[in-house]
Amino acid sequence: MAGRIRDVDIALVRERSPIADVIGEHIQLRNAGGGNLKGLCPFHDEKSPSFNVTPERGMYFCFGCSEGGDVITFVEKIEHLSFGEAVERLAQRAGITLQYEQGGYVPRRDHGERARLIEAHKAAAEFYADKLLVPDAAVGRRFLSERGFERADAELFGVGYAPAEWEALTRHLLGRGFTTEELVKGGLAKEGRRGPIDRFRGRLIWPIRDATGDVIGFGARKLLDSDDGPKYLNTPDSPLYKKSQVLYGIDLAKREISKRAQAVIVEGYTDVMACHLAGVPTAVATCGTSFGEEHIKILRRFLLDQAEFRGEVIFTFDGDAAGQKAALRAFADEQKFVTQTYVAVQPDGLDPCDLRVKQGDAAVRDLIASREPLFQFAIRSTISRYDLRSNEGKIAALDAAAPIVAGIKDVGLRKRYAIDLDRWLGFMDERFVMQRIAEVGGAQQGRPRRAPQAAPVDPSVRVEGELLKLAVQRPALLGPRFDALDPQAFTAPDHVTLHKVILAAGGVAAGAYGGREWVDRLLEHAHEEGARGLVTRFAVEPIQADAHAEERYAGAMLAAIEAIAVDRAIAQAKSRMQRLNPVEEQQEYNKLFGELVALEQQRRVLRDRAAGS
């Protein structure tokens, strides 16, 4: 039984695991100003980035789904690990050897299930890569050579060979201390009549890695005529590997995808290799399944696609009927991207790998450069099935293409493709074609939805929020005036809760040092339900002031909230005066009047200070 990880080690793991670097292995982050970074949230599907990271305080928060925390929390959530497993994973990444308070050093075998399976897959990948060099693997080396790949290329992609034996890998991994249960659970072995046997035998092997570079599964290509299995065999779904959520090559391509704002989708492992080696380093492929919604989510996090339509996703398909069908399937998901989406089809039916062998690297680059907009491809592929020499054929083609055009959400783009469709069919009657599209495709699909109007924010609540952000992020700017505020100065329930946390932590006077240390102190005192999430959110949400003006802004916000409190006192004084008889209760009335004059004067002063922002 593993002991408790020492607090000092947990702190060291946080210190040596820069949150921007760790999160940057999963999503593309861009500068959002004020020391903050922003990207598309990996925890929910969104069109525009609302996921914020603040490296200075080591925190992240998504304003779309309210997920937030520190670097350990992120690894827990993104990898589905326990707290201890997340710390161990980060420690391994940072080269830190953990110590435990009960029992000293804990050997690797006591780590969590995921870490154990990752280690097993790493060992299996090394085993397969070594076996590619043995005499029996000559058939595999010949396969690679015939497709234009050299030994260095195989090493770059980790290509290996599974011996044509029943238990070669199983014996090796059992000898390394892994259990039969782990091998079967990870999909490396399966149960035979007399015990576990290797899942892959006599096949060329490609290790499949996640975005962080960990091997999570394998793809295996048949080499031997005696193998009666399918041409390609993949790791089954396991705790590590979900085929609908995996893209082969993403570990190598992710940085170039982010840099170029481009992703190229190909159909096989050798196509990915060919593209990368030919100068198209943004290529990835699905693994034993068609391209789907989960794959889109992976790519969007690295593309950071937004309404600017700057990025592009390019699908490559064979020029045959099956390739066209695959492209049309992709069309169904096209508008889940905000980027521009294209199809690159080689007319002679060559895939990128064969194209590179026959025509060279430049031909692969030319294929990608000759991409065609996916809408255009889908429409033209549809109408190509009809005889356009007759009116009947033209009408049938128009009716078949109409739902595609009607489904284009962008109104301007939909109109342009309607005009193109008229030209391609030869009607030369745009009004007729547009009317037919509306009738057959259903114009209602194309009506732009009116964006919901955000509820107006109470100015006083906005002031409360800005002041609390300053209290969490820049406590030294507020001083004793903040700690002296009446708790009733905060009215929004979340603000009331967070103010209590700040007071419980000793007020901003106790957080003069600021930074991560102050946020940790607040988290320690965040006992109410939801309070920790509030601390995280307010530690990440940008302050609405430039860095050089924060001190003046803090003074203005303090003055504004004090002015709001004076407003309430004025309202109360006026209410009490209205209930008094100025003749019969003259003394009390005059006293209240004097207080009211003083409050009005105080409000003017505070309003002037607040206006200084």
Q: Are 333 and 248 in contact (CB under 8 A)?
A: no
pLDDT at residue number 164: 95
pLDDT at 489: 87
Q: Are the C-beta atoms of residues 261 and 337 closer than 8 Å to each other? A: no
Q: Residue 462 is which amino acid?
A: R
β 312-318/262-266 pair status: parallel
Gap between the Cα atoms of 130 and 489, Å rounded: 69
User: Whole-prediction pTM value?
Assistant: 0.71
Q: pLDDT tens digit string along 259-313? A: 888 999 998 999 999 999 999 999 999 998 888 888 888 888 888 655 444 578 8
Task: Give the residue from 400, 390, 435, 394 showing the smallest Cα distance to 415.
Answer: 435
Cα separation of 384 and 597, whole Å? 84
Strands (E), 418-477: none
Reported as a single tens digit per residue, the pLDDT across 344-379 is 988 787 899 999 999 999 999 999 999 998 889 889
Instruction: Report the percent of the chain where pLDDT is more than 90.
Output: 52
Contact 107, 97 (CB under 8 A): no
Q: Which of 433, 427, 368, 385 has its CA nearest to residue 406?
A: 433
* Positions in the chain whose pLDDT score sits under 50: 1, 104-110, 307-309, 443-455, 613
